[in-house]
Amino acid sequence: MNPSDINFDDLRNLTIGTVESVSPREIRVLLDLNAPQNTALNTGTPTLFPKINGYVLLPNEAGALIGMISWIGIEHSPYPKRKGFKDFDLVDLPFPLRKMSISPLGILKQEDKGYKIERGVYSYPSVGDAVVIPTHEQLQSIVENKGENAKIKIGNSPLAANAPVYVDPDKLFGRHVAVLGNTGSGKSCSVAGLIRWSLEAVKNDIGLDKNPNARFIIFDPNGEYTKTFDGVSGNVRIFKVAIDEKNNGFEQLEVPAWMWNSYEWSSITQASGRTQRPLLRRALRELRSGSIDSNEDELLSIRRFYSSCLVELKNDYHRGASAYKGKPGKNEFGKKLQSIANDAHNDSQKSLSVPELTAKLSELSTELESIASEKYASFTNESGEFIEYYNDFEKANIENAINFIELFLSKIGGVILYKGPDEDSPVYFKDEDLPNHLERLAQEQNVQQFLDFLIMRVRTMLSDTRMSSIIGTETDISLTDWLDKYVGKNNAENG
């Protein structure tokens, strides 16, 4: 704004106060004695001033600093000195002066065809600078959005003489947006209006015969938006928990149990953190991986199992001597090693589809059993009980066992590391398998008393008619089909 363009008489008539203090987040303003108290006529147009959320300007070298009024009050101050008057005979008592706080918003710059707003404040005012009321044109420039993509009209601003307000849909929906207000202030209507106005603006832009590639998902627990989008072009899909035969156009809401992640299962079943939640996560992981493993070939299954055994032995090795020396580590490790040897022997006896695998499994079983048998011991005590135990294993024994399994895996294709699916992957499983698998895990871990109520809650939830209609897995639907149905296909093919 050039100084030659400034009409100082108009600026003087618009002045309503001076800056009293300045900080990065707040500017305090002392209002003049003759400043408007309710309605301002300074700009030639009746304007409500001062009021909360109103705008004021602070002229500076860059243009004018825009400030929003955030506080208005009266503070007792010394009696103001008036020019041309000698008030020496007055008693100096506290005098009520009006003050207000404003929050800086940006810079208003003058251009050839009006005004333009720049974000940020890089030039703050000084104490004593004048504060003015914006004109009608300046108010419109503050509240209006003059961007090229600002095509959606969301209403009129009563703060700027009912100037229309436009927004850019990319900026509005590309960020986090909150519609706030008191009860009954119109929050739901505003949300519905934003969606309708956006769709109508896009339709006018691309043509009435085309559907916009837009997706709006509304969670409506109170049923406020049931009739809101009647008449909107395109297919508006409405899903409900229970379908009333009288209400046509509704579809059954289905969120199958296999789509829930472990956090959602833990939350809905109120699983405790110490025992129930770890076993629930394990059950979900095994059920999801089981649906994949059932289709894999026999060789891949063998590689996966003994890769897991190798990882477990390496964990014992890195834990140190307590894992294979002294009680109870030596006995647990000996039983574990013997169990792996027995599994290898049993697998070698099966009719495997790969003949050469039988000899390799038999060789692995012999090597591991020889290590376990070397430390095995037993005796009969005075009561006639037969006691079995293992002596301390040496570090070399653990290394040999690990080497034998690594050599075996290298001959059949190598180690397979577990890559999923994990307990949060949306992989299909039958809902009735979850409580049954939880019950089996509880028996294996000998923690039935801690999981009884969890299993009961899961069974109750799955047997409930209302819940089963939502989370049931009777309907065979893939994740891709579910997303197409509820989120929508590309280019709004299905609405």
Question: Over the range 203-233, which residues count as b (16 or more CB within 10 Å of their CB) and which as e?
Answer: beeeeeeebbeeeeeeeeeeeebeebbeeee
* More reliable by pLDDT, 390 or 145: 390
- In this prediction, residue 130 carries a pLDDT of 92
Band the pLDDT of 287: cuts 50, 70, 90: confident
* More reliable by pLDDT, 371 or 44: 371
Band the pLDDT of 247: cuts 50, 70, 90: low
Tens of pLDDT, residues 151-176: 888 888 887 778 888 888 888 888 88
Tens of pLDDT, residues 8-64: 566 778 899 999 999 988 999 999 888 888 888 777 778 888 889 889 999 988 889
Tens of pLDDT, residues 384-394: 788 888 888 88
- In this prediction, residue 89 carries a pLDDT of 62
User: Mean pLDDT in the chain?
Assistant: 82
As a whole number, mean pLDDT of residues 211-231 equals: 81
Share of the chain above pLDDT 90, in %: 14
Tens of pLDDT, residues 48-80: 888 898 899 999 888 899 999 999 999 877 766
- In this prediction, residue 298 carries a pLDDT of 72
